[in-house]
Structure 1
Amino acid sequence: MTPEEREHHRKGPVTLRGALRPDRTTDQRLLEGAGTGAWVHSDPWRVLRIQSEFVEGFGALAELGPAISIFGSARLPETDPDYQCAREIAAGIARAGYAVITGGGPGIMEAGNRGAQEAGGVSVGLGIELPHEQGMNPYVDLGVDFRYFFARKTMFVKYSSGFVVMPGGFGTFDELFEALCLMQTHKIDLFPVILVGRDYWQGLLDWMRSAAVARGMVNASDLDLVRVVDSAEEALAALREAMRSEEAEEQAADGAALGVGAADEETALRP
């Protein structure tokens, strides 16, 4: 029997032959009443769950408007100076007309949501399922819970006009370097990334210069993607500066487009 003559079974876009041919169709398996329910943990079903997370996230945030995300440790108590700093930054962001997005948990995330809410702004929390449940902090006005980190991270990047990064651990580093990688590789447009706390972040930046830059792993100019500040006032000033620069670029682009249009119209009217 030639390969072309072998019996085959088509299951959607997949073709199965030989021992891989199933003895029942997909419809038969779907309509069976018996079963253990283990199918809800299979990879195809997970794809649907992943899809639903993107749909829910996009639906919840599509009309949010401009927003700034604040990241930092979940372990810092209300009495920590960084908590109060994040709270002040969030309040300033809200007063400037931006929503504040955090991971929705305790610590710095709570401080960010609290500052936004107290200033009358929109306070957003993007929660994540963890082995040790954190839950949404009480200062979240719009909360979305995710099973998958990658779906949640997409929402942070898609709906943020900038990142404010307070002292934190692996989760904070993850969000920071995700943004830097996406900007470096031109997957997203440049936006401000503000590191708050020079005493906390300077060692990391020094290592990147002395090791990563020195060996050519990153370009020295890549470090210009971040700005380090020491206070809430400096962080808000850096954000305002970035936003003014972005507005100026947009106005220049609009002006250039109008100029091209006018030139085209003039040319078209010539005999």
Structure 2
Amino acid sequence: MRESEADVRRAGPLTYRGKAVPDTTTDQRLLDQRGPAEWVHTDPWRVLRIQSEFVEGFGLLSEVGSAVSVFGSARIKPGNPYYALGETIGGKLVEAGYTVITGGGPGMMEAANKGAKQAGGTSIGLGIELPFEQSLNDYIDMGVTFRYFFVRKTMFVKYSQAFVVLPGGFGTLDELFEAITLVQTGKVTKFPVVLVGTEFWGGMFDWIRKTLLVEGLVSPNDPELMYLTDDPDDVIETIRKAHVDMARRQFEAGRVEEEGERIHDAERADP
């Protein structure tokens, strides 16, 4: 039995039939200013918000060049030795030619942004909407505040060539293990993850080696995905060396591929 035009409604990629056919068209609902506002909190509308956050983030960060993300607690105050360490690392990253990206908040994030700005570099903050007020710190040249954690995490991973992890709590641990998991599973090209503070992070390293590794819950080389140090110069040298090694491997891989293509072409040309 053939459907009548009244029994079917096509709205873009959507098809409605029978009782599901809406009483109004999409244009009518768009242009009608009356009615409840709950629609802005529906899942389809959230998809557009998520999309807009990706667009804004990509637009902000697409031309920043080589960058390092610095993580750490928002609760550490100026005057704390860790805060001073964060300033020093932020400055040294700039001197080494890197843009500094943080979560944009206070504490260790502010310290790294401050060090970067005072060194004359580019200082970026990627904030997050929280139940309590936390504005972007005053040492940021460019910043954006996200609604969704997963969009923000994508920006950290996509536009950083290394992670520096200073002492912090649950948020810092979340970012750290997100990065390590992506590296471990090959979802991102291996890049250096440097933890600063041997006394602070030492217990976690011991637990990984003496519990996770012994129980067979991680691979033998997995603990080596993180490097632990107290020395800001060692942080920079570790990142620099890792990037030099990666560039060399990429160059050698390119040479091997080029030689393979040359041999293949020669074999095809040989009668």
TM-score, normalised by the number of residues in structure 1: 0.90
Q: Is residue 96–residue 236 contact of structure 2 (8 Å, CA) maintained in 1? A: no
SS in 1 for 2:134: coil
Residues 150-188 of structure 1: CA distance to partner in whole angstroms, max 9, x if unpaired? 111100000000000001011101110111111111111
SS in 2 for 1:220: coil
Paired position in structure 2 for 1:97:
97
Q: CA deviation at 1:215?
A: 2.6
Tell me whether 1:157 sits opposite 2:162 in the alignment. no
> CA 1:218/1:10 → structure 2, altered by over 3 Å: closer, same or farther?
farther
Q: CA deviation at 1:79?
A: 0.6
Q: Distance in 2 between matches of 1:10 and 1:200?
A: 60
Identity of aligned residues (%): 52
Q: Distance in 2 between matches of 1:178 and 1:231?
A: 24
Q: Distance in 1 between matches of 2:115 and 2:52?
A: 31
The runs of 4+ residues in structure 1 deviating greater than 6 Å are none
Q: Distance in 2 between matches of 1:139 and 1:95?
A: 17
Q: CA deviation at 1:234?
A: 2.0
Paired position in structure 1 for 2:170:
170
Deviates further, 134-143 or 207-216: 207-216
Paired position in structure 2 for 1:200:
200
> CA 1:27/1:94 → structure 2, altered by over 3 Å: closer, same or farther?
same
Deviates further, 62-71 or 233-242: 233-242
Q: Distance in 1 between matches of 2:147 and 2:64?
A: 22
Tell me whether 1:252 sits opposite 2:252 in the alignment. yes
Amino acid at match of 1:100: V
Amino acid at match of 1:151: V
Paired position in structure 2 for 1:4:
none
Give the number of equivalent residue pairs: 269
Residues 171-229 of structure 1: CA distance to partner in whole angstroms, max 9, x if unpaired? 10111011111111111110000011111112112222233223322212111110111
Q: CA deviation at 1:8?
A: 5.0
Q: Distance in 1 between matches of 2:13 and 2:204?
A: 48
SS in 2 for 1:223: helix
Structure 1: gaps of 5 or more residues: 2-6
Q: CA deviation at 1:265?
A: 5.9
Q: Distance in 2 between matches of 1:254 and 1:119?
A: 36
Deviates further, 233-242 or 122-131: 233-242
SS in 2 for 1:127: strand
Q: CA deviation at 1:21?
A: 4.0
Paired position in structure 2 for 1:44:
44
